[in-house]
Amino acid sequence: MRALTIERPGEYRLANRPRPAVASDEVLMAPLAVGLCGTDLELLDGTMAYIRSGRATLPMVPGHEWVARVVDIGSDVVGFASGDLVVGECSIGCGHCDLCLAGDYNQCGDRRETGVMNLDGAFAGYLVLPASSVHPVPDAVDVEDAVFTEPTAIALRAVLRSSCGEGERVMVTGGGAIGWLIAAILIELYGADVAVAEPEASRMARLTELGARAARPGETFPIVFEASGSAYGVADSFGNLANGGRLVVVGLNGLGALPIDLDRVVINDQTIVGSLGSPGVWPQALELLSSGRVHPALLVSDRFPLSEFDDAIDRMRAHSSGKILILPDDSDRDQPTDFHLHRTINDEKGTT
């Protein structure tokens, strides 16, 4: 099969590698569509927090937002059959520590994260995962909505951690995929009055179509979501947080540290909540997508085959306002090919 591998920070390669074997408790899948995420760029550049801290090691196949067809199952696996449309979780814990047993497998000290931390992802002809982390896609969910199950689950968990009430006034900082999904969930499920801070006009237009609005000067909110993953976003979020308010931080900024006025947090009796990943909410996320109340496929602006990964990355670095999908196909699976791409970031072009 072909796989896109990050060899080291700033260098990636698309080349043939062996088809993964299937253990007794695993599922082998053929990815149909994979979302290209800001985290993937951080992994490519070596700025992602796990790379900087040494928790994630390279080489690694990225790709953590995906939908696939089942190809084969291990001898102990039940509930799946060849041809099933499936999605799979990013955080995969050890399964037996206290955190995993409590359902907090996103905090397991020995966890792996699909396409992010020490577990190959979906930018390849085939992908293999433990069956316990794989979920069937309901019939009512289209492929290009299903590929967003992972970010939908992240957004849903962040909303649940906010303790948002019906009709609440809420602010979302950042109008990328996660910010859009948070706003959509708040509007559709909670009837919330959602204001958004987003400087890019096309992103703001999509949010306005959902029913969100721009924040008014000087307006503060009891709940603010930081989904921009940027220093300015953190500053804006704190600036718009009301006394007694709750700030839910979803975006990773890759900067290592940011100045925060903790005296202000104490004096204003505010709460800061981090939200990592999506443990325990995947069935709810799939149910939400199946209901038709949220259609994240509306975010898709570009589609590229895996062989044109270079072009997809260039498009994303050009600040595409939409979501980019990579579409592995049969040429990336079992058909022999001499295609080979190797690129170092900032090269004028790759080599084939």
Q: Give the amino acid at 297.
A: A
Q: From CA 234, how far away is CA 121, in angstroms rounded? A: 29
Token output for 145: 């909505």
Span 189-200, pLDDT tens digits: 999 999 999 999
N-terminal to C-terminal alpha carbon distance within the chain: 17
Cα 310 to the center of its chain, rounded Å: 20
- Return mean pLDDT, the chain: 91
Give the residue-averaged pLDDT of 221-241.
89
Angle ∠(62,148,29) on CA atoms, nearest 5 = 55
Q: Is residue 287 part of a domain?
A: no
For the cut 80, the answer to whether the pLDDT of residue 352 exceeds it is no
* Residues 222 and 307 placed together within one structural domain of the fold: no
Q: Which of 94-98, 105-109, 142-146, 314-318 has the lowest mean pLDDT?
A: 314-318
The number of folded domains in the chain is 2
Flag whether 281 is in a domain: no
Domain shared by 258 and 327, yes or no: no
Residues 139 and 183 in one domain: no
130, 168: one domain: no
How high is the pLDDT of residue 231? 77
pLDDT category of residue 230 using cuts at 50, 70 and 90: confident
Residue 46's domain comprises 2-147+295-344
Q: Pairing between strand 127-130 and 26-36?
A: antiparallel
**Separation between Cα atoms, residue 92 and residue 76, nearest integer Å:** 18
pLDDT of amino acid 335: 60
Burial of residue 218, with CB atoms counted within 10 A of its CB: 0-12 exposed, 13-18 middle, 19 or more buried: exposed
> 26-60, pLDDT tens digit by residue?
999 999 999 999 889 989 988 888 888 888 889 99
121 with 183, same domain: the answer is: no
Q: What is the pLDDT of residue 318?
A: 85
Q: How many CB atoms lie within 10 A of CB 343?
A: 20
**134, 80 contact by CB (below 8 A):** yes
Give yes or no: residues 141 and 14 share one domain: yes
260 and 205 within one domain: yes
Q: Are residues 192 and 241 in the same domain?
A: yes
- Residue-wise pLDDT for 100-158, tens only, equals 999 999 999 999 999 999 999 999 999 999 999 999 999 999 999 999 999 999 999 99
Three-state secondary-structure class, residue 36: strand
% of the chain surpassing 90 pLDDT: 76
241-249 and 271-274: which strand pairing?
parallel
Handedness of CA 245, 249, 253, 257 (dihedral sign): positive
- Domain-terminating residue out of 241, 274, 307: 274
143 and 159, same domain (yes or no): no
One domain for residues 117 and 170: no
> Strands 300-305 and 271-274: what pairing?
unpaired
Residue 205 lies in a domain: yes
- For residue 37, being part of any structural domain is answered with yes
Look at residue 352 and tell me if it is in a domain: no
- Beta-carbon contacts of residue 252 (< 8 Å; ≥ 6 apart): 39, 42, 48, 49, 229
Place of tokens 């085939």: 126
Say which CATH number the domain at 249 has.
3.40.50.720
Place of tokens 């696996």: 77
Can you count the helices (H) and strands (E) in the chain? 11, 18
Domain-embedded: residue 280: no
Q: What pLDDT sits at residue 135? A: 98
Domain at 19, CATH number? 3.90.180.10
pLDDT(328) > 50: yes
Q: Do residues 217 and 270 share a domain?
A: yes
Q: Determine the pLDDT at residue 158.
A: 97
Mean predicted confidence (pLDDT) in 314-332: 88
> β-strand 221-226 against 169-173: which pairing, if any?
parallel
- Residue 346 scores a pLDDT above 70: no
pLDDT band with cut points at 50, 70 and 90 for residue 10: confident
Query: Which range is least confidently modeled, 43-47, 73-77, 184-188, 254-258?
Result: 254-258
**pLDDT for res 345:** 57
Tell me: do 137 and 164 sit in the same domain: no
Which sign does the torsion angle of CA 330, 75, 107, 276 carry?
positive
- Asked if the structure places residue 306 within a domain, the reply is yes
Which residue reads 């058909």 in tokens?
A: 335
pLDDT confidence of 351, banded at 50, 70, 90?
Answer: very low
